[in-house]
Chains A and B, each alone.
Chain A
Amino acid sequence: AQSVAQPEDQVNVAEGNPLTVKCTYSVSGNPYLFWYVQYPNRGLQFLLKYITGDNLVKGSYGFEAEFNKSQTSFHLKKPSALVSDSALYFCAVSPRTYKYIFGTGTRLKVLA
Chain B
Amino acid sequence: EAQVTQNPRYLITVTGKKLTVTCSQNMNHEYMSWYRQDPGLGLRQIYYSMNVEVTDKGDVPEGYKVSRKEKRNFPLILESPSPNQTSLYFCASTPGQTLGTDTQYFGPGTRLTVL
Contact = CB atoms under 8 A, between A and B. Distances in A.
Interface of A: 4, 6, 31-32, 34, 36, 41-46, 49, 51, 90, 92, 94-105
The residue in B33, B104, B105 that gathers the most chain A C-beta atoms within 10 A of its C-beta is B104
B108 A90 contact: no
Contacts of A92: 43
Interface residues of B, number: 27
B62 interface: no
A72 B48 CA distance: 26
Nearest to B50: A98
Interface stretch (B11-19, B63-71, B78-86, B95-103): B95-103
User: Which one of B48, B56, B101 has the highest number of Cβ atoms from chain A below 10 Å of its Cβ?
Assistant: B101
B90 to A, nearest CB: 6
26 contacts: A32-B100, A34-B103, A34-B104, A36-B106, A42-B108, A46-B105, A49-B101, A90-B43, A92-B43, A94-B100, A94-B101, A97-B99, A98-B48, A98-B100, A99-B48, A100-B33, A100-B45, A100-B100, A100-B104, A101-B45, A102-B35, A102-B45, A103-B42, A104-B40, A104-B41, A105-B42
B103 A46 contact: yes
A34 B43 CA distance: 13
Contact of A95 (B50, B100, B103): B100
A32 B90 contact: no
Given A46-B103, A51-B101, A102 B108 contact: no
Q: Which of B33, B90, B103, B107 has the most CB of A within 10 A?
A: B103
Contacts of B100: 31-32, 94-98, 100
Contacts of B4: 43
Contacts of A51: 101
B42 A43 contact: no
A49 B90 contact: no
B105 to A, nearest CB: 8
